[in-house]
Amino acid sequence: MGNTTNSNYITVMERYKTMNKFNFFEARSIEEAFLIYIKLKKNKKDPVYIAGGTDLIINIKKKKITPKCLISINNIKNYKCIKFNKKSKELTIGSFVTHRELENSNLVRENYKILHDAIKCIGSTQIRNVATIGGNIVNAAPSADSVIPLIALDSFICLEKGKEKRTLKLSDFFVSPNKTVLKQGEILTKIIIPKTVFFSSGSYRKIGYRNSMELPIVSVGVFLSLDSKMSICKKARICLGVAAPTPIRILKAEKFLEGGKITEERLTESGIISAEESKVRDSYRGKAWFRKRLISTYVKRAGLLAIQRIKNMHNKIKKEKLI
Amino acid sequence: MSIKIKFTLNGNKVQTIIEKNWTLLYLIRKEMKLTGTKEGCGYGECGACTVLVNNKAINSCIFLAIRADGEKITTIEGIGFEKNKIDSVQKSFIDNGGIQCGFCSPGMIISAKALLSEKSKPNRKDIKNAISGNICRCTGYEQIIKSIQKVIKKK
């Protein structure tokens, strides 16, 4: 009898960790992916798109979803690159670019420090090698690391469905946890970061118990644009993760900073406003009061780091000119 | 729903028939009988199942086997394969106490290899970052970091 219990245990374990049977299709273009989707949908095969799959496969293994068909969109080449348009100064990130590619890109590291801050603390090296930025956005977790800096940078996203295209602001994309305005069969293809002005920079900070493979207690992204004397704040973006059902911007604190002198006291004040305006809740990761305190402290710190980065960038350019 | 795939496993060209819902880990352990790669959590958290796909470290437990088609895969058995003796990283792990129970070691060594192929002289922070996806419950990580640092010094 001992044997049977043992084998029962193994089958339970195996069943728990293996996946239900599904069919797998590889799409080579967005149009093809949509055609396959429509066809399978008609046959009631409930298809699901898969890009990197680091979240999707875990969900299939945990039996949270049981798709009959997967459509792989990971190998669509047009959307696997990072492009910088020198004329319009826009950065276009293809949706199937992996986090690791972004992390190793000099362009992102030098010019979009706030994004680089966030990308490098996602998952682990193994996850970043596979997981795509589009997947991180579409998943719409309130804690999604790459979303907060992208919202702070006023990014736009392109959604495609066959030949239909639409562009919308990333901040309008999220509805509630894991829910977006994405229609059936639609694919997120591009992320566009508009031109950033010269005296601007930002920083992102994720506060958690460990450094990798961790969902944050809260995460804070601050992006500031200053005037040429570096004393007055022209534009401010304060973005918080896990502070509400979706990633949010704190408009009141942004308005408070905009147009005024940039000092430590004013940043402290904006931190307090952010904490008041946030809709944090109690969870096992942290109580609401603790999260509020973290927000008020880290908004200030992220702001100070952003200013420091603007100054560093300015000094570097000054030195280069002297040489 | 089976399908035939071709890939390079540890330098050898392999053809095999797989089911579409297999993970790469299942393919390596159950079909290829290479049991050096371990299954820990099964959800990509612990890194015991780390293998190299085109010289990039990935978690094979959440990577579909079908995606290995046409790729170059290296497991722990393929490290130091050419000279038919153990690799310098493996030797360093043995000498510096980087291996205790040994369950995390294949993953750790693969992660270390991926790091060393990218950067020839990584600092402590780089090393910590590279093995941040691998969990070890014996060594407290200090010996593992030391093992990797020793390899760099020997170079």
Q: DSSP of A102-168, one letter per residue?
A: HHH-HHHHHH-HHHHHHHTTSS-HHHHTT-BHHHHHHHT-TT-TTHHHHHHTT-EEEEEETTEEEEE
pLDDT at A137: 95
CA distance B50 to chain A (A): 7
Chain A residues within 8 A of B59 when measuring between CB atoms: 54, 126-127, 130
Question: Mean pLDDT over residues B41-59, rounded?
Answer: 93
Average pLDDT over residues A248-254: 94
Mean pLDDT of A282-298: 91
> Contact A20/B111, CB-based, under 8 Å?
no
With a CB cutoff of 8 Å and minimum separation 6, the contacts of A264 are A300, A304
The mean pLDDT value for A18-34 works out to 90
Give the nearest chain B residue to A128 (CA atoms). Answer: B58
The predicted pLDDT at position A37 comes to 95
Q: Which residues of B touch A (CB under 8 A)?
A: 1, 3, 19-21, 23, 26, 39, 42-45, 47, 50, 56-59, 62-64, 66-67, 111, 114, 129-130, 132-134
Q: What is the pLDDT of residue B1?
A: 78
What's the mean pLDDT when you consider all of chain A?
90
> B1 and A22 in contact by Cβ < 8 A?
yes
Structure tokens at B24: 């790469």
Q: Is residue A64 scored above 90 in pLDDT?
A: no
Spatial separation of the C-alpha atoms in residues A162 and B11, rounded to whole Å:
41
In whole angstroms, what is the distance from residue B33 CA to residue A98 CA?
Answer: 30
Report the amino acid identity of residue B63. F
**Contact between chains at B64 and A57 (C-beta distance less than 8 A):** yes
pTM: 0.91
Q: What is the pLDDT of residues B64-112, one digit of tens each?
A: 999 999 999 999 998 876 666 788 999 999 999 999 999 999 999 999 9
In this complex, the residue of B39, B44, B132 whose CB is nearest that of residue A54 is B44
pLDDT (0 to 100) of residue A163: 86
- A313 to chain B, any CB pair closer than 8 A? The answer is no
Q: How buried is residue B81: exposed, middle or buried, by Cβ count under 10 Å (0-12/13-18/19+)? A: middle
Nearest Cβ partner for A213 among B50, B64, B133: B133
Flag if A125 and B57 touch (Cβ within 8 Å). yes
Q: What distance in Å separates the CA atoms of residue B140 and residue B126, rounded to the nearest whole number?
A: 17
Q: What is the pLDDT of residue A2?
A: 43
Q: Find, in chain B, the residue whose alpha carbon is nearest to that of A17.
A: B42
What residues contact residue A321 under an 8 Å CB cut-off, 6+ apart? Answer: none
Question: Which pLDDT does position A17 carry in this prediction?
Answer: 62
Residues of chain B positioned with their CB less than 8 A from the CB of A211: 132
Q: CA-CA distance, A134 to A172, in Å (whole number)?
A: 16
- Per-residue buried b or exposed e for A3-18, using 16+ beta carbons within 10 Å of the residue's own CB: eeeeeeeeeeeeeebb
Out of A21, A120, A127, name the one closest to residue B44 (CB): A127
Statement: residue A284 has pLDDT above 90 = no
| pLDDT greater than 70 at residue A14 | no
DSSP-derived secondary structure letter, A308: H
More confident: A126 or A213: A126
> At residue A270, does pLDDT exceed 50?
yes
Cα distance between residue B20 and residue A323, in whole Å: 60
Question: How confident is the model at residue A208, as a pLDDT?
Answer: 86
Give which of B49, B55, B58 to mutate to test A binding, by max A Cβ within 10 Å: B58
Q: Which residue of A has its CA nearest to B46?
A: A213
In chain B, what residues touch A20 (CB-CB under 8 Å)? Answer: 21
What percent of chain B has a predicted confidence (pLDDT) above 70?
97
ipTM over 0.90: yes
Residue A262 has pLDDT above 50, yes or no: yes
Question: Looking at beta carbons, which residues of chain B come within 8 Å of A54?
Answer: 44, 59, 62
Report the alpha-carbon distance of residue B33 to residue B27 in Å, rounded. Answer: 8
Q: B21–A54: do the CB atoms touch at under 8 Å?
A: no
Q: Looking at the complex, does the CB of residue A44 fall below 8 Å from at least one CB of chain B?
A: no
Rounded Cα distance between B104 and A177, Å, is 34
Query: Cβ atoms within 10 A of the Cβ of A35, count?
Result: 15
Using the Cβ of A75 and the Cβ atoms of chain B, whether some distance falls under 8 Å is answered with no
Q: What pLDDT shows up at residue B83?
A: 62
Q: Is A195 on the interface with B (CB under 8 A)?
A: no
Say yes or no: A125 contacts chain B, CB-CB below 8 A.
yes
In a 3-state reduction of DSSP, which class is residue B114? Answer: helix
For A116-165, the pLDDT digits (tens) are 999 988 989 999 999 999 999 999 988 889 999 999 999 999 999 988 99
Average pLDDT of A67-74? 93
